[in-house]
Structure 1
């Protein structure tokens, strides 16, 4: 069990625990961030158990001490699990004002750290690329599709991947050094993401990485944009990511100049003809 993540240990042991320990275990399963944040005495008081129960609980999980268990919980929290964003006693967490403040800060941190030259460099590269690939998994998959939809106003046939039932191998095999690949690496990242990123880089394509703020700056890609994703609730906030997409798409249209204007006029002409809007 020593090689299992913290929460996996708790869930596995839960049916075997005595009532007081089980009550503590259920609290930890629902709000693992409490153990990552609180001392043993604070956690005991929160669960309504004794300090001795906390000690027995962590030993049943295979830890020598509470600090060892808390260290594992903190490491797991840093991986981006949304469970660790939940805390007890936060009735005000869902207040609109709290979410607004957090999201405004995310916008400031995200856009405030972006260099205009990087945005212009990516936009210019996309306008001259053979193909543009927008790669996103999990929550980032619809973002990749949204970016593709916005880029259609300025470039031909950007490709969002992977689609349903697809593997990335069939797409990476078609990438070349004349392409631009925009990869979303938002937590929690899928297994093998680092290997995929490295493999895409080996094709010679110019890579733009869009990640959360928890990823260290990657010097192996041409552009790395880090977005603040903090939240006042259990789900990550992606307003910063959407703002970045908006900035990139608009700048690409602007740099397309006359050809971009003609393309937009062509699109609007067909919208009017087909009465779709």
Structure 2
């Protein structure tokens, strides 16, 4: 038996694919295994361009974090974070201002276990397990409360996670619960998959993939007005809600060669005012 790498918890079964590690592979990261890469190939066949979309979303995250830092935000809460690899929030924020603090939250115990090992040695970054649908469990998690000061602005990131919240779970009420706890000057970044005339085939492939994977959650696609509505209670910053690749692009890496990959994900950032 080969020895586990030092970022792999001893009780994690690496023979079973994991969504967070698969996403890491799609981003070009190294924190994944053959079983994750094989699953990623199935995703790419069912959803051509998924690798481009993952990278466009990650590029949006980097630009959003840098914009928040430029606006004075020094602490961040990444909800539904997955595994913090490949240029994630703490790397981007701390490269700009080393004092920035980042709390990662995910409901997947495997993702959190990987994260805790990866973040060892960084006293300004923590990981916690909680479900984004339970606002109190996220915001009052000991690791989160021990690192973040809720009397000061916080940058909240909810990237490609709210499409797992169905309409009957009332995502607007859910977001209002988070926003209510934030100090003025806080900012919220959201990215969300959508269904357009051009992406209908892609969306159907995604639905089929989710069904075949027997995922516990189902995808809820929302149109432009619905995604804009998620920012209720916040002031949208320029350029508002747009395709993820079109939100303040700053170079070739911000966009994909395939125009659809830049627009099948809506993205925006809102600010809480006094």
Name the TM-score class by shorter chain. 0.3 to 0.5
Structure with the higher strand share, 1 or 2: 2
Q: TM-score, normalised by structure 1?
A: 0.34
Larger radius of gyration: 1
Structure with the higher helix share, 1 or 2: 1
